[in-house]
Structure 1
């Protein structure tokens, strides 16, 4: 089943509004903004489907006009059901000059024999900011389905002016590469990735401040990319634990609170 979602923002009197939206079942959009004085747009991506099914193809397109701000949220954990073939998702994102997008979705839960391939292609303009997250679980842990999915691949590419800024290619195939071995998850069952891009000239990417917001019960590494980006990779034992952490980091950057955190902050591990 082909499932489509298209979102385009616009700017009117200094406020971001939903200029265009198109979606097919099972998608639905909800405006969850609470403060009418807030110039940003807050949308929740909802779905009437219990999860991603065998043969599903998700096509998502998000375009932010210049100087607009969008926080795109998800409704709940995304289940990837048992499959005989595969499911695929393509997400194309365009940030025009000065735009800002925050997208921290709920964790993916791949069921036994699930095969899921995702490709995120993101283009950023000058002076734009991107907050991007991803959380992958081991499966239905309480049901005994720990790393029993077949394949999970998530490729994220970020471009500016046709030049590749960052490429993150995550591939998990537990039957071929045991997750518990050295160099993989090493006993952890959940992993998260947080990407922060800021193409403003001379921008502070807050590597140390991001690290300070990650609690001590999460194993992490924060790396400055070759381009104007920072990547944080995290390992833990619970999806909610990682989701709360990514939300905390994204909120601190979104609200500009992160500039107040230093290496001696109480948030430091």
Structure 2
């Protein structure tokens, strides 16, 4: 199935709003029920499909006009079903100046023989910031499906002024790279990545890293590392044995970063 989602977040009289929205099955986009007083836009991406199937092609195009702030949320865990061929998702995010975008979705659950590639291309404006994450699980652990997927790849690229400033490539292909090998996932069953990049001059990545470390020190359920970029941003890597604790940690980090002005 070829499916498309298109959102334009506008900004008018101090508030962000949905300027344009188009979806085709199985997508749905609705406003988050809770009300916030920050005048930012909160939308949840829903699906009428139980998961991604062989041959699916998802195209998600998101644009933020000058001044807009958009936070996307997911409905539930994303299942990748048994596939004869493959499935592909393309996420394109265009951000004008003075914008903020965040997307911290639920974990991905790859079933046996799933083959999925996702690519996110983000073009960020001046005085703007982006928060984006992904969590990959081992599959249906309680059904004995520990990394029986064919292939999973998530490629993220961030551009500023047409220059590539961030590139992150997560590839899990058990028949090519043993998942439990040293330097890979070893004994862990879940891996998470959160990327933060800012072009705001008043944002200090070092202070933010110290703040996040204070959260890390209070938990012992995951292995967590932070790599600061040369520019104003950082990447958080997590390894653990459960998706929910990892997802909740990323939500806490998102809350800290989302409040930045």
TM-score by length of 1: 0.93
Per-residue deviation at 1:77? 0.2
Using a 3 Å threshold, how does the CA distance of structure 1 residues 183 and 36 change in structure 2: closer, same or farther? closer
In 1: Cα distance, 2:222 partner to 2:213 partner? 11
Query: After the TM superposition, which segments of 4 or more aligned residues of structure 1 sit over 3 Å from their partners?
Result: none
Kept after mapping to 2: 8 A contact 1:165/1:228: no
Find the residue that maps to 1:97 and give its secondary structure: coil
Cα deviation for residue 256 of structure 1 reads 4.5
Counterpart in 1 of 2:211?
209
Q: Matched residue of 1:244: which SS?
A: helix
Q: CA deviation at 1:36?
A: 5.9
| 1:111-153 Cα distance to aligned partner (Å, 9 max, x none) | 0000001110001000101111110000011110000000001
The answer for unaligned runs of 5 or more in structure 1 is 258-269
Alignment of 1:231 with 2:239, yes or no, is no
Distance 1:168 1:62 in 2: 20
Q: What is the distance in 1 between the residues matched to 2:58 and 2:139?
A: 21
Partner of 1:111: 111
Query: What is the 5 A alignment of 1:42-121?
Result: 42-121=42-121
Tell me which residue corresponds to 1:30: 30
Report Cα offsets for 1:213-237 as digits up to 9, x if no partner.
2323210110012332200100000
Q: String of CA shifts for 1:27-57, please: whole Å, max 9, x gaps.
A: 0011015336330011000000000000000
1:222 counterpart = 2:226? yes
User: TM-score, normalized by length of structure 2?
Assistant: 0.95
Contact residue 33 and residue 41 of structure 1 kept, 8 A: no
Alignment of 1:187-198 (within 5 A): 187-198=187-198
